[in-house]
Structure 1
Amino acid sequence: MISNLDILGRLMLAALLGSAVGFERERLVWAAGMRTHMLVCVGSCLIVIVSAFGFSDILGTPNVALDPSRMAAQVVSGIGFLGAGTIMLRGEMVKGLTTAAGLWAVAAIGLAAGTGLFTAAIATTVIVLVILAGVKPLEEYYRERSQTRILTITARRGAVTIEGLRKIAGSYASRLSQFVAQPGEEDGIDTIDVSFIRLPVKSCDEIATALRACDGVKSVDQTR
């Protein structure tokens, strides 16, 4: 049986590591913030301590066998309900998957702290923080670069052609993936939907500005 001081130390470490991950989520104003992550980490830490040491007084009793990993396994499967509560559907976008995965990781950190694997718990916390805070800018940059951008052009019929658009796009002409023109509500006016793939925001703005300056173009709207 471990000492009370050791138990307290493990619980405090779990709370500290959980708060470190939770602060990153709190900074982004997600539903599962610092307190939620701390509670998950401390709770899983306590569960594994109870599982490993809470039944030591009945060890040696005939026909009694204990498996300290059973309660830990329940934490891993049971944390799913809390993670599911952080996942939301907003229109066609699913939000909260990263937070749910973070809660699952924090539960594992708590289990590691509770079993005395302090190096593993601290190292995992650092890695999780690097993933959440450090990798996000790279992810957003890649997503920004690979996103399809759509320009909706309202112009006099014949004022905007594929050849003219390619000339305006310049070196990005090869990224033009779709050009659809259809009659607008006004006679002689067309609505044209143009799609570019992997087009930087600045270049898309420049193309839109150049189109607005063309004779016969009434409006250019961007969809990202």
Structure 2
Amino acid sequence: MATSVAQVYDPSIWHISYWELTLRLVLALALGGLIGLERELGGHSAGFRTHILVCLGSAAIVLLSMYGFAEFSSDPNVRLDPARLAAQVISGIGFLGAGTILRTGITVSGLTTAASLWVVAAIGLTAGAGFYYGAAVLTFLVVVSLFVLNKLERKFSVTKRKRDLVLRVNKDSSSLSKVVTELHRFGIGINKIIVENEETEVTERAEMLIVRLQLKLGPSKRFEDVIVSLAAIEGVFGLEAGVDSL
């Protein structure tokens, strides 16, 4: 039995050429960069370079796990497990993804970016393991999801058209009515409005109101244009908008 096992065992499986190693790392760089480019163009916290580094790091770890301990492969007392280091990447990347998630009012942002970091790590592991076709198909599907499905989601999803808005307005002016008029001009509905007196010890700000709005955007309106228009209204001294959850 021992003889048959020795005949089947091939130590060359634990070795990789420099050309093959370089190819896998370059592929990880390219695939991670494609996804990072979409995040970068969208102005998200984790962009082009971050996704490249995550993908490269994941590929390097799986390469190390598979080929970094080749000198011990012939030792009968050592059992190599190529999946052990790679498995830690999936759990470890969660800490990096958590740093991209923010909450403003009822709006949670960064979830898609956190998910893209997680899937980029998976792409890096796939490319590093030499599963080129799987890595390429996975990258294609992710890019389609981020570019194409993002547009469909913005168009048809009701929740993605809701935004929080907090304003500081002069209590004695008609600023609040001007804000409401401007929102209606943009075709934006108001789901909820809460008006409070600002609690502050600063004398010049004592006559301010805090206005909290939950807005429903029209399907074709750019929220950035609305913010610029509201900020230009006389009597509006502060404006804080909930950010996009994508």
Task: Give the TM-score category using the shorter length.
Answer: 0.5 to 0.7
* Match of residue 104 from structure 2: 90
1:58-77, CA deviations, whole angstroms, 9 ceiling, x for partnerless residues? 11213210110011100011
Match for 2:34 among 17, 20, 23? Answer: 20
Match for 2:156 among 136, 139, 142? Answer: 142
Match for 1:100 among 78, 100, 114? Answer: 114
Question: Bigger radius of gyration, 1 or 2?
Answer: 1
Letter in 2 for 1:73: A
Q: Which consecutive unaligned segments of at least 5 residues does structure 1 have?
A: 155-177, 179-196, 203-224
Equivalent pairs counted in the alignment come to 163
Matched, 1:62 2:76: yes
Match for 1:33 among 28, 47, 60? Answer: 47
Q: What SS is found at the alignment partner of 1:79?
A: helix
Matched, 1:48 2:79: no
Distance 1:127 1:3, change over 3 A: same
Q: Kindly, what percent of the aligned residue pairs are identical?
A: 49
Q: After TM superposition, give the deviation of residue 92 of structure 1 in Å.
A: 1.8
Letter in 2 for 1:72: A
Q: After TM superposition, give the deviation of residue 144 of structure 1 in Å.
A: 4.3
TM, length-normalised to structure 1: 0.66
Q: C-alpha separation between the residues in 2 aligned to 1:22 and 1:64?
A: 39
Q: C-alpha separation between the residues in 1 aligned to 2:219 and 2:66?
A: 55
Q: What SS is found at the alignment partner of 1:89?
A: strand
Matched, 1:132 2:162: no
Which residues of 2 match residues 73-222 of structure 1 at below 5 A?
73-144=87-158
Q: Which consecutive unaligned segments of at least 5 residues does structure 2 have?
A: 1-14, 164-176, 178-190, 192-215, 221-246
Question: What RMSD over aligned residues (CA atoms) do the two structures have, in Å?
Answer: 3.0
Distance 1:68 1:201, change over 3 A: closer
1:150-207, CA deviations, whole angstroms, 9 ceiling, x for partnerless residues? xxxx9xxxxxxxxxxxxxxxxxxxxxxx9xxxxxxxxxxxxxxxxxx9x9669xxxxx
Letter in 2 for 1:132: L
Distance 1:66 1:200, change over 3 A: same
Distance 1:28 1:64, change over 3 A: same
Q: What SS is found at the alignment partner of 1:29?
A: coil
* Match of residue 213 from structure 1: none
Q: After TM superposition, give the deviation of residue 145 of structure 1 in Å.
A: 8.7
